[in-house]
């Protein structure tokens, strides 16, 4: 961003709900861009926001509101992953690789060659997989309270992978139970201001499981990355493959879903990476502290030009990880 950009009049942004059909499946997404249309040029930057399990693009609303207050020329796109939000919930591949491929197709459909990939929770695991599968399409990587960086995870998510989950979830996430939980939460919100946005977002995710198709997608997704012992996907052994990629690791210090230690370890494993800790924030720091989070994220984007990774160099790095006999 130039000095002229910072001192000029605030740019108006247009944020709208859009729909796409990719390989026969409906994908809903939020599209936020400068109103003057400058971001329709593929040479401009795209930031792709990936939500967590049982979430939706709604989780990015506080961040997009803050971005709208800044003089930022980038285009921000936040899709509902398949099986989440308003997107289709087909019988499909709900693995990290399946999600990464679908996001690559959305990126290309929008006319972009690469994007800054921002992932939260499960979305962080998808973001890492995207960077490993499609380095040529990755400009920067931002991991927010990300999965895939250690074994430990909330017992509630581990329980969702047990064989009885298909029978238990319809009971605990049934419409009557969800309605009662919402009423209790609403009353608590009126009586106390201490109900954090992270708590509300977790409740919203739970409420989405009342829908049978979302519930089925949730179970398939959870079982692809978690077992009863914890997370079963780890990227820590491959993080150095993205050593030339600008990386920001962001974490809420009060996260009860995924331990802060996972973020600290990831930062240590990638020389040159940046670490942003949000004191007192929970699993959704971009919701708990949206202004501070947006300021930190935009500063990272401004200070680090988009990378242009050479697939040949990336292949050499993979070869360096191999020991063929």
| Residue 55: Cβ within 10 Å count | 24
* Complete DSSP assignment for 113-146: S-EEEEEETHHHHHHHHHHHH-GGGEEEEEEES-
Could you list the active site residues? 121, 255, 283
The SS3 of residue 226 is strand
3-state secondary structure of 93: coil
By 3-state DSSP, what share of the chain in percent is helix, strand and coil, each rounded to 5? 45, 20, 35
- The residue with tokens 């990629």 is 245
What is the distance, to the nearest Å, from the Cα of residue 130 to the centroid of all Cα atoms in its chain?
Answer: 12
Report the distance separating Cα 98 and Cα 256, nearest Å: 27
Supply 308's token pair.
Answer: 């242009």
Phi-psi label, residue 139: left if phi above 0, alpha if psi -120 to 50, beta otherwise: alpha
Task: Show the CA angle centred on residue 46, arms to residues 21 and 135, nearest 5°.
Answer: 90
Separation in Å, CA 37 to CA 74, 117, 123, 253, 314:
11, 22, 28, 38, 34
DSSP code for 95: S
């Amino acid at each position: 961003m130039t000095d002229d950009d910072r001192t000029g009049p605030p740019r108006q942004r247009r944020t709208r709900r859009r729909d796409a059909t990719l390989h026969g499946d409906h994908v809903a997404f939020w599209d936020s861009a400068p109103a003057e249309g400058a971001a329709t040029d593929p040479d401009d930057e795209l930031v792709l926001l990936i939500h967590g399990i049982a979430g939706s693009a709604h989780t990015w609303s506080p961040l997009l509101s803050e971005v709208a207050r800044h003089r930022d020329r980038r285009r921000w796109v936040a899709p509902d992953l398949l099986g989440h939000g308003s997107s289709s919930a087909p019988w499909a591949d709900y693995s990290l690789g399946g999600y990464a491929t679908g996001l690559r197709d959305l990126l290309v459909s929008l006319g972009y060659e690469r994007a800054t990939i921002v992932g939260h929770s499960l979305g962080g695991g998808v973001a890492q997989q995207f960077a490993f599968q499609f380095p040529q399409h990755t400009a920067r990587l931002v991991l927010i309270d990300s999965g895939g960086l250690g074994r430990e995870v909330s017992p509630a998510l581990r329980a969702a992978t047990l064989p009885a989950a298909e029978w238990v979830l319809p009971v605990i996430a049934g419409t009557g139970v969800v309605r009662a939980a919402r009423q209790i939460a609403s009353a608590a919100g009126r009586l106390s201001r201490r109900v954090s946005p992270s708590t509300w977002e977790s409740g919203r995710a739970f409420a989405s499981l009342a829908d049978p198709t979302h519930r089925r997608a949730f179970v398939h997704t959870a079982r692809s990355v978690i077992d009863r012992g914890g997370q079963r996907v780890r990227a820590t052994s491959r993080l150095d493959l993205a050593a030339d990629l600008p990386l920001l690791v962001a974490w809420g210090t009060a996260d009860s879903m995924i331990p802060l230690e996972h973020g600290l370890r990831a930062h240590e494993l990638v020389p040159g990476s940046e670490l942003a800790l949000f004191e007192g924030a929970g699993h959704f720091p971009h919701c708990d502290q949206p202004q501070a989070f947006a300021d930190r994220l935009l500063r990272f984007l401004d200070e680090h030009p988009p990378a242009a990774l050479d697939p040949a160099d990336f292949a050499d790095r993979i070869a360096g990880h191999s020991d063929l006999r």
